[in-house]
């Protein structure tokens, strides 16, 4: 029987916190391991600032997913049985003397404590991978997208307070960055 292949749950409504490790889906569709650096809960859904490939980026929930959980153990780890059998009287020793003895003839073998597999924190920080070099053009593109996202968030925040002129101003800044036109 074949197990279902794991797929990232992009946009899952998980309350990520600073320090959580996540998967980040880049604009080109590739995936990288990232770490939550900041959470903006003033908007719904929240916006996130992440560290990915050594750079800080702003993103939204639809571009992040929890990392896969480690596979569960199908069988318990090898070890001694949890209960050792009771000592029985040996040959040539009657049961009366065996039951009246105050000390066993030999100490029982040391038992290893039965332990569960270690629990792994689902959101434990994962050490970052070394940054992969990116071509300058791609780096500038990603920087522009991050800046445009920042201004779009400012616009959304302004509109929550019915500040239409500021909302329009920030949206124009975002569009100018994306289209490369001066303001």
**How confident is residue 118, by pLDDT bands cut at 50, 70 and 90?**
low
The structural domain count of the chain equals: 2
Q: Range of 182's domain? A: 134-183
CA 5 to centroid of chain Cα atoms:
18
More confident site: 92 or 178: 178
Using pLDDT thresholds of 50, 70 and 90, give the confidence band for residue 182. Answer: confident
Q: What is the pLDDT of residue 132?
A: 62
What is the per-residue pLDDT across 42-94, written as a single tens digit (0 to 9) for each? 888 888 999 998 889 998 888 888 887 766 655 455 445 444 444 445 444 45
Instruction: Give the pLDDT band of residue 37 (cuts 50, 70, 90).
Output: very high
The lowest-confidence range among 47-56, 61-70, 99-108, 120-129 is 99-108
Which pLDDT belongs to residue 35? 93
pLDDT of 27 over the 90 cut: no
Query: What does the mean pLDDT of the chain come to?
Result: 74
Q: What is the pLDDT of residue 128?
A: 67
Residue 3 reports pLDDT greater than 70:
no
Contact between 85 and 111 (Cβ < 8 Å)? no
Bridge partner list, 47: 40, 60
User: pTM, whole model, 2 decimals?
Assistant: 0.38
Rounded mean pLDDT of 107-124?
58
Same domain, 150 and 138: yes
pLDDT of residue 50: 92
157 and 128 within one domain:
no
Burial letters for 122-138: b for 16+ Cβ neighbours within 10 Å, e otherwise? Answer: ebeeeeeeeeeeeeeee
* Statement to judge: residues 144 and 60 lie in one domain: no
Residues 66 and 138 grouped into a single domain? no
Cα dist. 104→92, 100, 107, 108, 121 in Å? 16, 10, 6, 8, 44
**Phi, psi (5° rounding) for residue 144?**
-60, -40
Predicted confidence at residue 124, as pLDDT, reads 58
Does residue 110 fall inside a structural domain?
no
Both 128 and 169 in one domain: the answer is no
């Amino acid at each position: 029987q074949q197990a279902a292949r794991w797929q990232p749950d992009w946009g899952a409504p998980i309350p990520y916190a600073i320090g959580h490790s996540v998967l980040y889906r880049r604009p080109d569709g590739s995936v990288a391991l990232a770490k939550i650096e900041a959470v903006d809960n003033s908007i719904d859904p929240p916006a996130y600032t992440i560290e990915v490939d050594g750079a800080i980026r702003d993103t939204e929930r639809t571009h992040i997913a929890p990392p896969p959980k480690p596979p569960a153990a199908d069988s318990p780890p090898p070890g001694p049985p949890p209960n050792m059998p009771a000592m029985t009287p040996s040959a040539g020793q009657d049961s009366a003397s065996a039951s009246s003895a105050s000390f066993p003839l030999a100490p029982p073998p040391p038992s290893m404590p039965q332990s569960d597999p270690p629990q792994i924190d689902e959101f434990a920080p994962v050490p970052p991978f070394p940054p992969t070099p990116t071509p300058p053009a791609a780096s500038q593109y990603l920087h522009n997208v991050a800046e445009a996202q920042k201004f779009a968030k400012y616009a959304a925040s302004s509109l929550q307070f019915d500040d239409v002129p500021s909302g329009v101003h920030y949206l124009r800044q975002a569009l100018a960055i994306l289209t490369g036109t001066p303001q």
